[in-house]
Structure formats: structure tokens, C-alpha cells
Amino acid sequence: MEYGLIGGNLSYSYSKTIHESFGFYSYELLPLSRKEFPEFMEKKAFKGVNVTIPYKREVIPYLSDLDDAAGDIGAVNTIVCKNGKLTGYNTDFSGFRYMLKKNGMEAAGKKVLILGTGGASAAVYAALKAERAGEILFVSRSGRNGALTYEEAKSRHTDAELIVNTTPVGTFPKTDESPLDLAPFTGCLAVADIVYNPAETRLTAQARALNINAATGLDMLIAQAHAAAEHFLERPLPDDLIEKAAARLRF
């Protein structure tokens, strides 16, 4: 395999369609068991791979170098192998920033609630810091490790101006679920939901009904793949490739 995706369950991945729509290489999906994973990393028999759950942190000990974003986030989703040296990147960081820009969502100086404290939330937090967001608060069901509970968010932070969902709540096939009722959040100007299937989640549908700017995660998904492809090929690629891929994935 020259280029592809490694992870656990890859049956719902759109990565092959996205990367091959760019038109530069074939792309494979390679599910790896916990037993198979170390051997794959030690062999280094690839040019570039993307990494998804559950290996975004587990790959780090195998790397010779990390870019700043991956180091700050503590997770890697893109690896380039060159001359036997593995370098790790986190393109979710740039993918989320693209999502904000594409959908006209201004983070600078804004009060932000990040729903969820999993791996994706770290990349979103780093991107929001780079966008010079104001106060950034995490929200989780447990409220552990300094996060707010959902009840605390609803009672004390209804002035949040940007709400970002990094949880899987609302993902196909459980599309009737939503992580949060937006009605009390009267100060909210924008909702970014990184769920990309369905194209409209219950959360974003409610946001639009309340005249709040809203977007789901397809733009982020494709933009992070575009950034990964630039690392693979060691050159910038035209931005219109993102929309070309999006046209193939509209559903």
C-alpha cells in the first residue's frame, strides 16, 4: 500500500472516495487489529497514511517527528514516510479552520462551548485558539476534568456565541438524537457540528430554525483530507479540489 487509511472499523469511511477524487493516487482502506498494528508501523511499507480511531495516539511512539499542531493536540491523523523516517501531522486542525471560514463563522473574541472531550475536541480547541477565540469551555455528560455538565452550560452559559459539537451524537443511523437543545442559548450566533453523516443533523436543523448560522462536518472532512494530500505529495494543491470532492459526497 502506498497511500491509505488505517484504523479499526473503516466500513463507513469516505476517505477512499475523497482522496481518489483528487486524482493523484490510489487509496486503500486497511483495518488493523491491535495485533496487526505494531507490525504495520514497524515495517513502514507506505508513502503516506491517514490514521483514525483507535490509533491516533498510539502511532506517536513510532514517529521520528511531529508537526506543531499534532504535538499540541497529542494526536496524529496523517503520517508521511520518507527515507525510512515517519513524520506525523494533525490535519483536523486545518480542516476545522477551513470549516469555520467556508461557512462564515467568526471565532475571534467569541465565547465558545465545545461539546465533548474526546480526541476531536482537542483539535477543535487548538484551532479555536489559533483563531483567537475568547473564552472556550468544554461540556460533557460527566463534567469531569474541568468540563461543564450540560445542565451547567444551560444554566450559566446561554450567552455562548459559538457552539461546536465534537461528539458523535446525531450520527447515522441515530439521526433523531441531538447533544443539546439550543433554545435557551439566545446569544448563539453559529453552530458547527463536525458530524458529516447526515448532511443535516438534528442540532443544525434546530439552529437553522432559530436563524442561527449552522454547518455540519463535510467541509472539515474533505479539507483535512486535502491538507493530508498536500503532505503526501509535498506540494500545495488547488482549493477547488475540496469542492470537487464535496460534489461527489453530497447526500
Point out which residues pair with 202 in neighbouring strands.
none
| Residue 218 and residue 200 in contact, taking contact as beta carbons nearer than 8 Å | no
Whether 56 sits among the annotated catalytic residues: the reply is yes
Q: What values do phi and psi take at 238, rounded to 5?
A: -65, 140
Q: What angle do CA 199, 200, 205 make, to 5 degrees?
A: 170
SS (HEC) of the chain: CCEEEEECCCCCCCHHHHHHHHCCCCCEEEECCCCHHHHHHHHCCCCEEEECCCCCCCCHHHCCEECHHHHHHCCCCEEEEECCEEEEECCHHHHHHHHHHHCCCCCECCCEEEECCCHHHHHHHHHHHHCCECCEEEECCCCCCCCECHHHHHHHCCCCCEEEECCCCCCCCCCCCCCCCCCCCCCCCEEEECCCCCCCCHHHHHHHHCCCEEECCHHHHHHHHHHHHHHHHCCCCCCHHHHHHHHHHCC
Nearest to 17 by CA among 8, 1, 28: 28
Task: Say which of 56, 82, 101, 111 is annotated catalytic.
Answer: 56
Question: Which active-site residues does the annotation give?
Answer: 56
